[in-house]
Amino acid sequence: MTAAYAAHDWSDLFVASAGAGAALTGLLFVAVSLNIKEILGNAGLPARALQTLLLLLSTVVDSLVGLIPGQSATALGVELLLLSLVFGGWVLVLAVRMAAHTRQYVHPVFHFGLVMPGTLPQVVGAVTLLAHSGGGLYWTVGGIVGALLSASINAWVLLVEILR
């Protein structure tokens, strides 16, 4: 079995991404609490804050699931697929709901492009892990990195850009 389909080969990366996601989640709560009036005063920003939280939590939960000892690649694939569909679906529903409100500061296509790297690779990673072909956990890690980057950009908006 190649590394792309063997979760035990990824344990250090999963530990690091769980820690990074947890730390950024804490910082998100600080950003939201500092700017809560501005966030609640803009119709699209509460959903963006929740979307950011979901992206970060998906990295933490996916990483923790990847650290479960002794599980098969199939079990991990099923778990990651379910998680990616739930988190990714929720993030995309929020993006659709926010589309009308984001037009004032960014085109909705840009916003979809911002959150897709944190959602779509997760689904592809789970499917290819189940198929034992097509990239497996390399896609999942791409999704984790995409989620961390997307969430960081959203957090910047919630912390700094809304005050401009």
pTM over 0.85: yes
Angle between helices 108-115 and 73-102 (to 10 degrees): 160
| Confidence class for position 3, pLDDT limits 50, 70, 90 | confident
pLDDT single digits (tens) 94-130? 888 877 766 555 666 666 777 888 899 999 999 999 9
Distance CA 41, CA 96 (A): 19
Top mean-pLDDT range of 38-52, 71-85, 102-116: 71-85
Mean pLDDT in the chain? 89
